[in-house]
Amino acid sequence: MSDTRQAGRPHPAAGSELRADCANCFGLCCVALAFTASADFAADKAAGEPCGNLGDDFRCGIHTRLRAGGYAGCAVYDCFGAGQRISQRTFGGRDWRRHPAQAETMFAVLPVMRQLHEMLWYLAQARTLEASGELGGALREAAAATERLAAAEPAELLALDVAAHRATVNTLLLRTSERARARAGRRAPDRRGADLIGAKLRGAKLRGADLRGADLTGALFVTRSQLDAARGDARTRVPAALDRPAHWTP
C-alpha cells in the first residue's frame, strides 16, 4: 500500500489497472503478507493474520502516516493493482471476512497476481520503446498472454509456473533494454534480471539512495517501489509513468 502521492503525467504504462487502488481492495496485503519487527515494520505479523491497523472497512488506520507510524515497509510496497483485481474480478467482490472459506486461497493468489501485474507493468513500458517491428509484436503478444493468465480462475493461478513465464518475458525486456541503450549511444553494465524485472534486487540498491537533483526521465523499468524507497526532492525528475513520492522533500 503505497502512501499518498502527488499527481503525475498520464502514461500508457500507468493505467489504473496497474496502479494500487486500496479503495477497491479487501486489504489483501495487510493480511496475506508476513512481516517482522524492524526498521520497516513496528511489529511482527504472521501471514494470514490481519494487521492491527486494518479497519473493518478494509482501510488502513494509519495510511496517511505509515512512515511516522513505523511502517515504512508498507509505504514502499506496490501490488501493481493486483489487490483490487483479485478482490473485484478474480473473486467477484466477495471479501474474506464474509466468505472465510475462500480466505486462504485469496491470500495465496496475491503473490502470483502481483508478479503477473508487475510483468504487465514492465511490458507496457517496453512497448513505449518498441511499438512496432518484430520485437514490438512479441511484446504485444507477451502482454496479451500475461493478461490471459491473470484472468484465470484461482486454482489455475495457483498452479501456474510463474517463473517460466517470467523468464520468457524477461528475455523480451532484455532485448528491449539493449536496443534502447544502443540507441542512446552507450552501454550500461549488464545486470540482467536485477536491471529488468528483478525488482527485489533493484529495490535494495535504491533503498535510502540519495536521488535529490537526479534526472531519471530516461531510466528504464523504474518502479514506484524503488522511488518510494529512495530520497528525492523537487529537483528530482522521474519517468512520465510514475508520480513523485509525497514524502520526498520540497
15-70 pLDDT tens trace? 679 999 999 999 999 999 999 999 999 999 999 999 999 999 999 999 999 989 99
pLDDT at position 224: 75
**Residue 6 in domain:** no
Q: Which of 131-140, 146-155, 215-224 has the highest mean pLDDT?
A: 146-155
167, pLDDT greater than 60: yes
Q: Residue 151 sits in which domain range? A: 12-229
For residue 216, give Cα distances in angstroms to 86, 222, 244: 32, 9, 11
Residue environment code for 189-211, b if the CB has 16+ CB neighbours within 10 A, otherwise e = eeeebbbbbbbeebbeebeeeeb
**Residue 235 in domain:** no
**Residue 236 in domain:** no
**Residue 234 in domain:** no
Task: Place 186 in a pLDDT band, splitting at 50, 70 and 90.
Answer: low
pLDDT at position 211: 77
The structure's pTM equals 0.78
Q: State pLDDT tens for residues 59-107.
A: 999 999 998 999 999 988 999 999 999 999 999 999 999 999 999 999 9
**Residue 189 in domain:** yes
Q: What total number of domains does the chain contain?
A: 1
**Residue 173 in domain:** yes
**Residue 132 in domain:** yes
